[in-house]
Structure formats: structure tokens, C-alpha cells
Structure 1
Amino acid sequence: MSALLAATALKLLNHLLAQTPGGQEKLAAYAGRHARLAVGAVGVAFAIAPDGTLAESAESIPSVTLRLPADALLRLPHQGEGVLREARIEGDAALAETLGQVLRSLRWDAAEDLSRVVGDVAAERVVGSARSMLSAGGDLASRFANAGSEYVADEAQMLIRPAASVAFASDVDTLRDDFSRLQKRIELLERRAQPKS
């Protein structure tokens, strides 16, 4: 990871840590320890400062490495905990557990940051509108997905609905049983029709 990108990532993490109650205090217990957070092939190495913030680290062998899937940053806003559960941990388990707890608790207070630029009331309105739009977007995506699946199942008849599949399977079972009974009846009639010697 380039030095500029690493510095930016650490600045962002420290900003979020400052907005997370208790986060810095938990990390301060591990002051002087080195860690690496890797997302896919990209990673940032950092040291834990005495005040619990994160600083750049040139340490080649960190105490712990947390590896997240390559698509973690895209999935994190929607799947938060699920993405963090996929993390692979190498090294000091206690430090990794603390880092995991702190990372899971990070929350961005967008209204707080925006209020410095536009004021408290305007920031709350902007953030509220953004949440509404995101919620409406999620609702729209859900409706679109439902409409698409209904079209594929009903109009285009490319898929079979579960109820229709169950009914079809039941009909096939009934037909199979009827066929077996008919076959046995025919065999019985053939045996009766054969001349006795």
C-alpha cells in the first residue's frame, strides 16, 4: 500500500476511533504493539500509540495480522458484522480480539462531522435525507428484485414456483404408485391367463 494511502487509512481509522466511546482506551492497553490490517492484497501496518490511536509502522513482523476478504470495504456498510466474522487472524489472539471488538464498534457520526461545515440543524436534515434515500433505495431494490422474480416465474415461465414444484412432485409420486399397481395387476392377470399344465 502506498504511504499516502496508508496515512489516509490511518487518519480515517483514528477519526472513527475518536467517535467511538472506549475504543482508544481498549487499544491503549496494547501500546507499542504492531499490527497489520489486510483487505485482499492491500494492507496497512500500524502501531498502537500510548493514547490508543494508530500510527504508521515500519515493523516487518507485526504482532497480529487481520485479513479481510477483498470485497470487505464494499460489503462493510451493509453487512458489517458478517464481513468482520470472515476475518482471518494470524498472531496474538488477545490483541486480535481487542482489535476486532474495536473495529466492530466503529461508527461514523456523519451528522457530527457535517455540522462543522453547515451547522447542526442542516447537518441533521442532510443526514436524515440521506438515510431516507438509502432506505428508499433499498426498498426500491427489493421491489425490483421481487418484480423481476415474479416476471421470470410467471410471465416468462423460466422458473417454477415452489408450490407448483411441490404439486408436480406429488402428482409424479401418485402416477408412479398408480403405474406400479397397474403393472402388478397386469402381471397377475397374465399369470391367471396362462394355461395350466
Structure 2
Amino acid sequence: MFASSAIAGLNHLLADAPWARERLAPFAGRTAIFVLKPLELGLGIDKDGYFSDAATTEPDVSLELPLASLPKAMGGPDALMSDIRISGNADLADALGFVLRKLRWDGEEALSRVIGDIAAHRAVGTVRSLAGWHRQTAQNLLENLAEYFGEEQPVLVKRHALEDFSRTTTVLRDDLARLEKRLRKLESRN
């Protein structure tokens, strides 16, 4: 179920990206497996550069991503690339990596096929504005909470106050060490 849905979604993206299909077509008949424990997705590549179910249990390339690396996905696909373990055909892995990093869904284009260009443009603009408003509201809330807990209810320590405290503590430690040395010298004279 998961594999067929993922393949259908990827092929939908490939339908609007002839450059990606051209990049994958030379690898027709090859297979790849993507592993994100406990999920595994086997992909085959057909002659037109589209993905299909993997026809073999022995893939040409295997790409494994540790589950602990998933939070890096917030930074985009490039943030995950250093954690992916690749084994098998390097050329196929390179082509897959390139295509999957660059492949993007153009929601406005897909929506324009249903409701027309102008309406799709306005709808996507409205959604972007709404998302921007939510993002700005969340940022303002965090800034206000930080100010409240830093100024009015001093639960949080500001960075400069912590740095000043650290410098003062270091100076006090050094002064105390010098004083101890002087006391030892005076005791040794007596």
C-alpha cells in the first residue's frame, strides 16, 4: 500500500519533469531500495524514466537513512545527504540523488489544470499569505514569551548577563588562586 502510493506520487511529479525522466531513462530495468527502518521502498525504473515496483529482491543500489536523522529533514533534502548510507551502483545512486533532490511539486500548475490559471495563482497566493501570517504570528509569540520570561518574570537569563557572570566568576577564580599562592608563600616563610 505504502509503496504503490509513494510510486504513484513520485510518478506524478515525474510527469511534469521531463528532465528527470531523461536522467533516469538510461537506468531502465535497474532497481533501488530506500530504507528508513522499519519502512522499505523498492523502486524499479522503466524505459520512459518512470518508477515502478521493484521486480527483484537484489537491488542495484541501496540507500539507507538512519531514523535518528529524520529531524534534519526540516532543513530540506540536502541536509539529509550526509547521513544517507549508499551501497551499490554509484551512477544510479547519483542519478537518483540528483532527481530526488531537484524534483518539486508545482501546486499552482496542478491546480491551474482544474480551476484555471488566474484562480490558481490567486489561491496559491492566498495560501502563501496565510502561511506567512501563521509563521510571523508564531515568531512574534516566541519573541514575546522570551521577553516576558527574560524581563518581567526573570526566569530566563539573557546571554549578555550570563557572559558577564562567567567573566566575573573567572576573574574571581583567578584572584582566589593568586591569594592561595600568596598564603602558601607566607606560611612557608614562617
Asked if TM exceeds 0.5, the reply is yes
In the alignment, what sits opposite 1:146? 143
- State, as a whole percentage, how many aligned pairs show the same letter: 38
For 2:59, give the aligned amino acid: P
Q: Does 1:100 align with 2:92?
A: no
CA contact (8 A) 2:31 2:55 kept: no
Secondary structure at the residue paired with 1:159? coil
**Radius of gyration: which is bigger?**
1
Q: Does 1:59 align with 2:39?
A: no
Over the aligned positions, Cα root-mean-square deviation in angstroms equals 2.9
> Where in structure 1 are there 5+ consecutive unaligned residues?
none
Instruction: Assess, with a 3 A threshold, how the Cα gap between structure 1 residues 60 and 10 changes in structure 2: closer, same or farther.
Output: same
Alignment of 1:44-55 (within 5 A): 44-55=41-52
Q: Does 1:18 align with 2:3?
A: no
CA contact (8 A) 2:69 2:83 kept: no
Could you tell which deviates more after superposition, 140-149 or 76-85?
A: 76-85
CA contact (8 A) 2:149 2:155 kept: yes
Q: 1:178 Cα deviation (Å)?
A: 3.9
Q: Does 1:131 align with 2:128?
A: yes
For 1:160, give the aligned amino acid: V
TM-score, normalised with respect to structure 2: 0.83
Q: 1:147 Cα deviation (Å)?
A: 2.8
Instruction: Assess, with a 3 A threshold, how the Cα gap between structure 1 residues 124 and 178 changes in structure 2: closer, same or farther.
Output: same
Secondary structure at the residue paired with 1:22? helix
Instruction: Assess, with a 3 A threshold, how the Cα gap between structure 1 residues 73 and 9 changes in structure 2: closer, same or farther.
Output: farther
> Where in structure 2 are there 5+ consecutive unaligned residues?
none
In the alignment, what sits opposite 1:31? 28
Number of residue pairs matched by the alignment: 190
Instruction: Assess, with a 3 A threshold, how the Cα gap between structure 1 residues 68 and 167 changes in structure 2: closer, same or farther.
Output: same
Distance 1:71 1:140 in 2: 30
For 1:133, give the aligned amino acid: L
For 1:158, give the aligned amino acid: V
Distance 1:72 1:175 in 2: 43
- Superposed CA deviations along residues 19-41 of structure 1, whole A, max 9, x for unmatched, are 23410011001111011123331
Alignment of 1:146-165 (within 5 A): 146-165=143-162
Q: 1:68 Cα deviation (Å)?
A: 3.3
Q: 1:95 Cα deviation (Å)?
A: 0.7
- Superposed CA deviations along residues 148-184 of structure 1, whole A, max 9, x for unmatched, are 3333433443332221111112222333344455556
In the alignment, what sits opposite 1:114? 111
Secondary structure at the residue paired with 1:143? helix
